[in-house]
Amino acid sequence: MQELDFTGLACPMPIIKLKKFLAESSGLREPFIVVLSDKGGLKDIPAFCQQQKLFCELKKTEPFFVFQIQRVVGANE
Amino acid sequence: MSETAFFPDQFSVIQSKGTLDWAYASFILASTAAVMDKEVELFFTFYGLKCLLKDSNGLKITPLGRPDMVVKSPIGPEWLQKIDWNQKLPGLVWTLPGMSSLATKGFKKQLQKQGQLPFDELREMCLELGVKVTACQMTVDLMGFEASDFIEGIEFAGAPSYFVQTPATQSLFI
């Protein structure tokens, strides 16, 4: 599964990089992993995903926050 | 349909301050709003114009007259980094020559340590993300600036142009 490493980045860079990734991979339907160290991301990533109609699940919190994200079929199309 | 419902996806900031900390605040908020598909407009007036100059080295911070500012060392042992020097030291200290440069250097280092972009890159990124940036023509003239002093990709207009296209609510004044 593709993994995006956003560790060491502070708000808002993780969501900016996530948005850029989504724009560059518009055909991607498979889930991918986002790893981040920014504590705010624990709330911000799900909020961003909700607004962008992405499925988002928190997988791990140690040592970093790990989210699995996937486009919802039919959304944003 | 109410006025606010008519402009559901807009965010705007009127920036009147030209210090590095407040410049960061606006551009960070703007970049966040832009990637969340909001139409973002930043309007720079008075000293806020300094945020748009090609040479951004003039953006500084100073704890002088700023009791709210947190001044911590980005280097040294952990106990040292926890000290807020703006609380510990008498305000007179910040009047000494070089203190503003020292505080600015420390602030930049702290931002870098936290993973923030250098200011010029953050500003450039906002323009790439489609943030609309307008410099207030009246204050450009008032401060004696030339259009060539400013970065590329911005517009020059007055407050009426700003108000005609910004939302009925959700404007910040910084």
d(CA B13, CA A33): 34
- The per-residue pLDDT of chain A, averaged, comes to 89
Q: How far is CA B11 from CA B35, B43, B47, B137, B171, in A?
A: 12, 11, 21, 21, 7
Collect all residues of chain B within an 8 Å Cβ-Cβ radius of residue A11: 28, 32
d(CA B156, CA B43): 10
For B99-128, how does the pLDDT look when each residue is reduced to its tens digit (9 = 90+)? 999 999 999 999 998 889 999 999 999 999
Note whether B25 contacts A: Cβ–Cβ < 8 A.
no
Question: Taking residues B17-45, what's their average pLDDT?
Answer: 93
A15 → closest Cβ in B35, B117, B125: B35
Helix orientation angle between A13-24 and A41-51, rounded to the nearest 10 degrees: 40
Q: Do A16 and B35 touch (CB under 8 A)?
A: yes
Q: What is the pTM of this model?
A: 0.82
Q: With H, G, I as helix, E, B as strand and everything else as coil, classify residue B89.
A: coil
Question: Taking residues B1-22, what's their average pLDDT?
Answer: 76
Domains in chain A with CATH codes:
3-71 (3.30.110.40)
**Pairs of CB atoms within 8 A across A/B:** 30
Collect all residues of chain A within an 8 Å Cβ-Cβ radius of residue B28: 11-12
Q: Do B31 and A11 touch (CB under 8 A)?
A: no
A 10 A CB-CB count for B126 gives: 25
Between these two residues, B8 and A36, which has the higher pLDDT value?
A36
Percent of chain B with pLDDT over 90: 61
Bond before A63 cis per omega within 30 degrees: yes
Q: Is the pLDDT of residue B16 over 90?
A: yes
For B58-98, how does the pLDDT look when each residue is reduced to its tens digit (9 = 90+)? 999 999 988 898 888 888 899 999 999 889 998 889 999 99
Q: Which of A57, A65, A11 is nearest to A32 (CA)?
A: A57
Collect all residues of chain B within an 8 Å Cβ-Cβ radius of residue A9: 115
ipTM above 0.85, yes or no: no
Q: How far is CA A65 from CA A49, A72, B72, B80, in A?
A: 15, 22, 27, 28
C-alpha distance from A15 to closest chain B C-alpha (Å): 7
* Confidence (pLDDT) at A75: 62
Q: Are B151 and B122 in contact (CB under 8 A)?
A: no
Question: Residue A36: closest CA among chain B residues belongs to which residue?
Answer: B115
* Confidence (pLDDT) at B163: 76
Note whether A66 contacts B: Cβ–Cβ < 8 A.
no
Collect all residues of chain A within an 8 Å Cβ-Cβ radius of residue B128: none
For A22-42, how does the pLDDT look when each residue is reduced to its tens digit (9 = 90+)? 999 988 889 999 999 988 888
Q: Are A47 and A15 in contact (CB under 8 A)?
A: no
d(CA A61, CA B25): 28
